[in-house]
Amino acid sequence: MEALNRFGQALWSKTRKGRMSTVFTILGILSACVLAGSILTGNVSAKQAVDSSDARPLVIPSPVTLSNGFSAIVKEVGPAVVNINTETLPKESSNGASGGQMGQGGQGDQGMQDFFNHFFGFPGGNGGQENQGPSRALGSGFIVDPRGYILTNYHVIDGADRIYVKLSSDPQNSPDPGRLATVVGFDKDTDIAVIKIHSDKPLPTVKIGNSDSAQVGDWVLAIGEPFGLSQTVSAGIISARNRSIDEGADAHQVAKGEFQKFLQTDAAINPGNSGGPLVDMASQVIGMNTAIYTQSNGNEGIGFALPSNTIVNVYNQLIGPEHKVVRGSIGVQFQANTSSAVAKMYGFPNGGVIVSEVVPGGPAAKAGVQPQDIIVSVDGKPIRDGDELISIVSDKHPGTTISLGIIRSGKHITLACGVEDRNKLYANMGTGAGASNEASPSNAGETKFGVSVQPTTAEMNSALHITGGVVVANVKPGSFADAIGLYQGAVITEINRRPVTDVAGFNAAASSLKSGDDVVFVVRNPQNPSGGDSFIGGTLP
């Protein structure tokens, strides 16, 4: 720095003395040096040869089988996983008839669409294209019998006029839709269907496992055709067992998920995976991928698969002579969930089911079962809750007799009770085939009307000059009650001229009604005690 200062001072001194020629000479020399350095540097970086004789070529190694075993499982199971694509013709045809292979009426493609709307968050409907041409849908399935029997979800084939199956060995990009399949049988309650294709030679099959062996944390693979992408595999773990999904009620006000208890997994499941297998690390199918929970129209790590033990039980009945599932019933209704305080008060702290209502003329009524009896065992096996009671009784063949262990007024008694066909029992009651055999009457008002109620207080009864009733605590938006104008805070004293003095009476009245019935509520308004009765009514959808 000091030298630079001295150079600058000298340059300035010479300039002042008028020796400009010398200055320009020095500057010229410096510029020439800089230019020469740049040229030399450029020549070295651009043209200098590099000796790479010591560089070694890259080599692709021989294939190595990894230790996780996933690929081995896919190779074993994959050939038995199929693509299912369906075609549904326009609902309105020129001759007013609709073709089909299912032998029973269905909801067409809309039934499947409604399922995806509920679980996958898809927009509803077909965009007004119902009558513009055939609608198509995709799903998955897996072969369980080399003669061509295939398991899938009922919602995959619901309402389809034509069902096609593509094997893993078939050309995936071919315009050929696949092999035409026929429906062997289906069970709406569990969303399981069996279809069959013709084959001149034995087809590859999966191995069925025991879903009871599946534990939370176990590795599983989901295989299927999400979005039509063939043979897609995703891995995850079992994240929960015995999971229920609240699907609401069907046309007969039956809880749709009554016979569905799922394995939950975080293996990626997307639209099109439905009906595909959930496989454990022993290459055994322990579930059928059925639904996901999503708020973004895609996988969010919560998927549901029907357990293989449920599937086997249903499949064996569907391939039988009648091609349908028969479930047993004893004809009782009960509250699905009771608090520990109720269990302690009524003497069943270790588990049991308190009977709310006995179906008149049903097996339980004939056996002598009474309301407020607590069923604590069936054939000597303890009952923890209503799910266990439904599971055990529904598996019993109609015509058999079971032994009910009951607590009545603190005393233990045993009753011999017959078992009847669930569908026939409730069809005879006029509630329609498929009505629930152990439906909870405590939820009847909520499922049928869309309201929850509470008992009136003594002060309210006195103010309204009534002997009893129920207060509407909540009205579900869009429900039947909401549509006819039943409002929160209203006091219901009658339903169809039947006095309602408490919650049990309200639920009993609701349980006796079915779709298409006229319903009239007699209500009082606590805000206008002197206003007298009001009448609110409508027809149940």
Q: Which of 161, 187, 189, 191 is catalytic?
A: 191
User: Is 246 among the residues known to form the active site?
Assistant: no
Asked whether the CA dihedral 97, 101, 104, 108 is positive or negative, the reply is negative
Indicate the pairing of strand 332-334 with strand 353-358: antiparallel
Q: Is the distance from CB of 522 to CB of 533 less than 8 angstroms?
A: yes
What are the Cα distances from residue 463, in Å, to 35, 453, 488, 491?
Answer: 108, 19, 18, 12
CA distance 195 to 409: 51
Asked whether the CA dihedral 297, 299, 300, 305 is positive or negative, the reply is positive
CA distance 65 to 60: 15
User: Is 234 among the residues known to form the active site?
Assistant: no
Q: Which of 140, 155, 187, 280 is catalytic?
A: 155
Question: 515 CB contacts (<8 Å, ≥6 apart)?
Answer: 251, 252, 253, 432, 540, 541
For the record, the structure tokens of 420 come out as 């009847």
CA distance 154 to 162: 14
For the record, the structure tokens of 410 come out as 């603190």
Q: Which of 234, 239, 274, 452 is catalytic?
A: 274
Q: Is the distance from CB of 477 to CB of 486 less than 8 angstroms?
A: no
Question: 366 CB contacts (<8 Å, ≥6 apart)?
Answer: 417, 418
User: Is 274 among the residues known to form the active site?
Assistant: yes
Catalytic residue numbers read 155, 191, 274
